[in-house]
Amino acid sequence: MEFKIPYPLKVEHEELHNILSKATKEPGDLGDAAKAVAKLMHPHFIKEEEYALPPLGLLRDLAQGKMTPDMKEVLALTDRLKADLGQMLQEHKSIVAALGVLSAAAKKAGKVEYVEFAKALMLHAQTEEEVSYPTAILIGEYIREKLQLS
């Protein structure tokens, strides 16, 4: 079974990536700070898109009471997220710290759009920590319980 990241989350990731890519082309401290953020974010985004966010694609069906035996395949993703959660949260801390440097460099360069980007990405990380990751894990636990798997 294929698990698809909900479209709005996929678009949000793409938009954040595009803005960051543009920021890396800026000269001086701003570009350097953006490159540092990108270096941290790229492997993190890959993990999110590989196993942290795809389980959320089942949420609508589960909320409507739709359950199929092949949904158990999502457990490999949710179990991996649960096991890696501490690392994922630590990566967020590193990214947020790098975003602080980016924001300061953007302020100094008079590039308000990158200050706003840093704020948006910090909020994005917080949303993942408080909503997306816990929901993905709960989806796995719910499916495990409903399908009576141990």
The string of pLDDT tens digits covering residues 8-40 is 999 999 999 999 999 999 999 999 999 999 999
Instruction: Assess contact for 51 and 81: CB atoms under 8 A.
Output: yes
Instruction: Assess contact for 67 and 143: CB atoms under 8 A.
Output: yes
Q: Which residue has the tokens 């980016």?
A: 102
Instruction: Assess contact for 77 and 54: CB atoms under 8 A.
Output: yes
pTM for the complete prediction?
0.94
pLDDT (tens digit per residue) in 54-73: 999 999 999 999 999 999 99
Report the share of the chain in percent with pLDDT over 90: 97
CA 22/CA 116 separation, integer angstroms: 14
Beta carbons within 10 angstroms of residue 132's beta carbon = 21
